[in-house]
């Protein structure tokens, strides 16, 4: 799970609200993962890698590094899209095939 702390605050109110909502949505996906999904551990590792990458970029973004900000934004949106379209979709197919959703 991702902890939305000061390292993720951009001080752009609307952006921070959206990021807070995104983090909450991502964190809420953790609970349904307890259905015997065989790739659960690798799924969790993917989330951990994402969290680590964002935390690594956070200090640069906080200092106003525009390149780091663009990189963080690009990485986050790319990760989110690919994660939903590939990783989460596989989870959904697994759950649906077993009548769990």
pLDDT digits (tens), the chain, 101 positions:
678 888 888 889 998 898 888 888 777 766 665 778 888 889 889 988 998 998 898 899 889 999 999 998 899 889 989 988 988 899 889 988 988 77
In a domain, 72, yes or no: yes
In a domain, 20, yes or no: no
Q: In terms of pTM, does the model score above 0.85?
A: no
Under 8 Å between Cβ of 33 and 43: yes
In a domain, 5, yes or no: no
In a domain, 22, yes or no: no
Quote the domain boundaries for residue 89. Answer: 39-101
Structural domains counted in the chain: 1
Q: Phi and psi for 31 in degrees, rounded to 5?
A: -60, -45
In a domain, 23, yes or no: no
Q: Phi and psi for 34 in degrees, rounded to 5?
A: -90, 55
In a domain, 85, yes or no: yes
- The pLDDT assigned to 65 comes to 93
In a domain, 52, yes or no: yes
């Amino acid at each position: 799970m991702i902890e939305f702390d000061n390292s993720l605050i951009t001080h752009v109110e609307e952006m921070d609200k959206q990021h807070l909502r995104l983090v909450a949505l991502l964190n809420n996906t953790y609970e349904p993962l307890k259905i015997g999904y065989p790739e659960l551990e690798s799924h969790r590792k993917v989330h951990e890698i994402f969290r680590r990458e964002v935390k690594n970029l956070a200090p640069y973004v906080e200092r106003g590094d525009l390149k780091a900000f663009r990189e963080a934004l690009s990485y986050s949106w790319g990760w989110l899209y690919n994660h939903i379209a590939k990783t989460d979709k596989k989870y959904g197919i697994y759950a649906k095939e077993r009548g769990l959703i």
